[in-house]
Structure 1
């Protein structure tokens, strides 16, 4: 059977600091060796039968294989190595079908535009082939009225429900579970931050029946008292069950205790467990979150920026974006990358936004099936530091935490293994600090372990020591982030009769390095700025770290900090780029050292990862101009992929805005719209590309396209502003790709516009790629 694949969506990298370059035919073919499915095509002739572009700036090479088949590869490493291929037939440049010519020209334009825009080399996406999960949570709840109607008051002022309670309540509402709270749901606890005349909070929800049917998805408009009571009772039960610290400014509770409350009071599955993201690679974490959404349902998720926030993850899109419900009346709800949880609108208790640090989630939350599985515990330490050896005593400092939903009683242990970690030698529990862990839960930290390793237990040699905890007769290791070792190298050398010299070190598994750090030009007072670079980890794993933007003083110490980003470090080096808000205190114009830093968990001192020189200039109002707007092949556009390009020049300061690419029908109605973030500094020009699809389009129909920005106009609010005239476009004939025969006996497959396979039995209205054998065509499902 013939196999032909055309990659209809060209993958490009943009905005990276590394520089892409043109490739020779041999270099272009060499990149194919990294494509497992195409390694057999490496024997293609070294001379292309066709070059698209120019001699000075080639964009595509077309090769025919002597044994049959062809391959189209990128001639610039800004694009993915392989653009299309077939294991049979040949390409005749003199007799190309018109739509093949158009497709090659379109690919060529994208590559040349990206290269001219200074885009960096293409890095292969590792987004797995996952099915879409539509957003599951229908509620758009918040923390104020009517949700907080039954929350306690302070000096007559209402307090907020708290983000933890709102997230928890929305997940419970999704399941409409339980019908009744447990008989033990009689709450009483000390009110953290409460008024002096109300030292404790109490509420009896024993066997309380939740009125799920009267809870509305939205309380933004009208509701009656029964509907208000229904949601207010749920919010109060959730808040009291996690011992909420209520406040008229922002109420707070520990994220990690939600699971304990769900199991203890609300009959949820006892196998639920908390997981901190830092213990896993980005790819593994994404897969874990996806599998939980698929197998259990929506999940309580949390992260930190200027403050911590708790919210709900409840959906997935096959391009790697997850759907989040932020708990702010639906504001900012939408799709986000897990590395970029930056809602545009921030509601109650949200601080300045950006929840990319200290991420974690509750896994396995679902109604109980009546069984009682063993609790799942997660004990962690961010890193081991300040090791001390005094005689037989080994002291380790670190932030030792129980990240599990449950409080435990246990004892500290050192689990001792052979040097290579293959053989368990001994476990010691002779500890001075702590003598025991009592009611050890997420609310508590232990910063020091001090245990004795007697000479009778351990002889001369080199060993691995894993700090841990013993709970109910079982031993658990304090797990560390993937970039940190979870054991100590301990060496005992005999110096005399029953006398030993003991040493301890923490092995390095790699260092986080940032190369080519740049602020992309001058910084302007009170203006946002762009930071870019390449993050490399010298070890074998992938890891991430939340880094703050900072300016250093003349002694190299942190002077001021600003918003940062969660940076992913990989062994091969991963380009990054983020935009930061201005620094939190006054900064005068002048020359500075810019740095990316993080705060040490133990010493609370800033650690510098990388730095570069920069200049802070006086404030200049950010201005820009849209120079041009073009649509590829406007006389015969493909309705599934209308490619548009706009060039924008910076006229002063740092200009940052949102541009909207639009398509309107003949009556002037907007049929599709796509927003793109603009960031351009004075004297620079950027190119923005957008690809839109037109639903239910018919060949020959006329539309117009344009790009605009929005400005406030009274009356009427925000209105679009168009600097350039509309571009007329006409729908072309996209019935299929001629010249490639169909195998009528082959299986019919459908793909979405990202090339991901979808189930033919469950196609929702839209445009799809249909493939039968080697015949590829576009179809519209209405």
Structure 2
């Protein structure tokens, strides 16, 4: 059964140490350990935390910035008992995320949590580079709000089966049902709080964007079987009725937002109208955007909603799309409870207000998809409609206010940029209002303007003009756009936060003279610094990868960057994306561009918006030229390629779950140029549909040969036999096999550890995680001095050993032990002095520097097993597969060997006196001894299969 999250009321009880500046890994683990110890006590538990580092977030441009310390750390607790996320800078609150279930694997995360990780990396990067003080919002207690709210949503649902079983089947992906989409999951989970509505409302008719699936339904005719739905479908015995109930709910939610269905990813944009019109939610619900609120306002708004018992649908946006999840609680420490919509995995408490908006603190660019845009929005007021419901509060927002011309008492002209309606649209009056020092409305400029804007619509620029009101007394005022609230009073509209946006103009009135001051608006000034190819050659007519560097010599830039190529009498757009570039910083665009055919040189023009405050949510803008770049191209051989393979080698034909298949091959081309991907498709042993694939971009001209290396993941495969084939993409776009050879391999989920000696000691290392079998203990060497090693047997039977961990094995007796292979993201322990790496020739290699190398085995007298140098210098030696060795810096001056099977061993050797029972005795070299114990000298022996130390009196 899934563990339930309980609230952590630790504001006054947890005392966490604070270090100045960066937080080291060891300090972070101490913080996480103490945090878990306190939470366990708060919940009545007393288990000692067992933490392993799962992820260190590093700055994208760490080398250029001179930043070496991680931005934050993610620790896994136990096998699948939750995570703790600790900030890498003590200006943030120490613990910024916590979940009491699930396991963190950076490669396999809920898409909402993946968004949060990327967004927090942006926030922490900005903090590390700045001189700002602690960023975490100070939560001021309010008599009207609860000090904490336990998770309001009690279900843990996801996007796959059975939730997607009513979604359209995607024929382009093996007739697989489309995913529900994260928006539909978030909607369904919030609706489950009230088990409302009884059914949908209205008619839906649309074709999906990607695959043109026809979606048509009268939603009133689809009842929701709330009592048949389970809180979790994970690991449960589920009936057909229970599956159908949740699947129909998910499909209705998806149709309500006009979901673009696909088996790979389904997407949609949620508006308040969708909830009201199709699902009977109170019409007072609304969508508001993060860019119009500061941290404290955003934090307070969400807390107020949750304190009223209403879960919030939270959406974050990146260049790869939107990510929706549910925020349904908060604790007393300033963290919000998040249900990621991934079958309950990694639900927990996370910082939200600390994720800066795109304008407050712009982020660094990603490698390929543009800058990470931290725009966020929330849906408020989601509750069942009672009667006619609440009257929706309609709002207008704007980006910036700009003065036009010289103002006078009788005439003032201004422009309001990007006037936008909220999630309910807006119908009413808008004025350019004059507000006093207490933010009270005192009059307007000219006439009131009648506005009628549907949800998500905007005016790119709204001009206003008129005379100052005659009754305005001398004094200082602020001029800003205003609308009427529910009480019929004019209140300031919300403007976009951050430079270069201007929310208001300062006005000084003295008699017939007025002075209007507008904060100076400094434009961004982008200039091109250069272009660099990411491959040895740039081929005409092929898609090539480049790095283009731009520098911003002006104000913060937040807008599109467009690449064009001159074609005759026009500029042809070949690339366009949104980016954020701070003042004084560089932006490196990493892009793949299709180069023109038949030329040996190409020239690109790079454009940006010259009035960047006006281009948000629109493609119309005045373009400024940042510069041009040119690059040389090689004209390739014409004609169809003739590709052949040779020297196909599988390094590990017998592989294991979690241990990818490593393949190398030589590709030759006897025909025309080939500049596309080469694919390895994996098939079941009896053929049929491919079940996995990897690809690699290749540029190969006539009479050339290239060595290719593929790493084929097998985590999605069950233990069985398989084969792969190699394909290229022909001129008509079809996958064509390069050869008909089946390259066979086997995936196993069990392995064997053999302990060959009578003392029960050995070494082992495999590149997959496994569960320690009964009868074994697995240890790591954590310290070495002039006399002995410290061996920590931290992996007892039943524990999971991280992939690639070099080990000392301690067994009950000489035999072969079968273990279970598992998938795990736990990393190797860093305090381990054992190594398993070898160089290309198979010699031990611990890294740069001088090391003394120790091989595991018996000493020269064949009486004591341990680690010994192969020669006096501790030279490197060849090492077989799956073996580990000891590597110590030569400067440490250690002895020639360390015995583990001695009385001074720290591995828990028993001390045994004389026994009246006639035992079965062996020496350490395996020789059977037929004599009385009383005649033996003191020492170590194997007695009845156990290693004991016999002490004579």
TM-score (norm 2): 0.41
TM-score scaled by length of structure 1 = 0.48
Q: Which has the larger radius of gyration?
A: 2
